[in-house]
Chains A and B, each alone.
Chain A
Amino acid sequence: MLLRLIFVVVSAFTLGFALLMVTARSLFHSALAMAASFLGVAALYILLEAEFLAGVQILIYVGAIAILIIFAIMLSRGTMRTAEPVVNKQWPFVAVVALSLFGLLAFLVSQVAWPARSAEPMGDPIAALGKAFVGPYVVPFEVASVLLVVAMIGAIIIAREKE
């Protein structure tokens, strides 16, 4: 019962800040609301007992992605000052598309059986993940490193292109 209450509070926090993000007139306020929404998602992961995912969510999304987006906003002149209206002429069409997507997803969620596993959770899931990284999943682990290098080199090339 208490867990359900906490879930409702955390979900309201996450969705409230997500709503604030799309309705805020200032792009900078949107970015701050997005960071708060990311924190709410991390709390949801903890409620699902996915500690590592929650840590990664805070480390990468709140710590890095939000900073990156705030930097991108603060680097561009103009977007800081002008408060653009949040809706334009196309909003009825977008509302129809968004509502039909919501309807489709809600229908799918209600149709799936969501089987519950009664098996005991692993003793130390993070250590198990670490062992899996260097054991059966060593090739994806190394490829992830190559992917990160590719992302870094690509970012440098695109950022330096203009000079």
Chain B
Amino acid sequence: MLHSYAFIAIFAIIAFGFAVAGPAFAWLVRPKKPNAIKNDTYECGIKTFGETWVQFKAQYYLFALIFVVFDVEAAFLFPWAVAYGQLGLYALIEAALFILILVGGLLYAWLKGALEWQ
């Protein structure tokens, strides 16, 4: 089983190496003669103003929280989906009940206006 994950490890190493090798090679071979104009962020155009770090809208957090809940739900349903072919109608009803309870939560969020963008 571990052998099939070796491909992921090799892929990760190559992907990381690919990202690092290009800039590293460029850094090695390029001439280094910096001056003030070269070090400017933009050669032309309007200079940037304000902070780079801006505050996000607080509502994103609520969406992220609801996303976590449905992410956990998906994690619970994966094993059920894998075993689906070997299970009967009873299992289908149980999973439907599982989803229905969560749909209740989603309906609550909807009716409370938590999904509305302000």
Q: Which residues of A contact B (CB under 8 A)?
A: 3, 6, 28, 46-47, 49, 51-52, 55-56, 59-60, 63-65, 67-68, 71-72, 74-77, 80-81, 124, 126-131, 133-135, 138, 141-142, 144-146, 148-149, 151-153, 155-156, 159-160
Q: Chain A: which residue is nearest B63 at the CB level?
A: A71
Interface string of B34-69 (1 = CB under 8 A from A): 000000000000000001010111101110111111
A68 interface neighbour in B51, B64, B76, Cβ under 8 Å: B64
Interface residue B15 (Cβ < 8 Å from any Cβ of A): no
* CB-based contact A64/B82 at 8 Å: no
* CB-based contact A75/B105 at 8 Å: no
Interface residue B26 (Cβ < 8 Å from any Cβ of A): no
The A/B interface has a contact count, at CB < 8 Å, of 145
Interface string of B84-106 (1 = CB under 8 A from A): 10110011001101110110111
Interface residue B81 (Cβ < 8 Å from any Cβ of A): yes
A127 interface neighbour in B2, B72, B83, Cβ under 8 Å: B83
Besides the known contacts A131-B83, A152-B69, A152-B106, 15 further A-B residue pairs in the complex with CB atoms under 8 A apart:
A3-B2, A46-B5, A55-B78, A59-B75, A64-B64, A75-B60, A127-B86, A130-B81, A134-B83, A134-B95, A149-B69, A149-B105, A152-B105, A152-B109, A156-B112
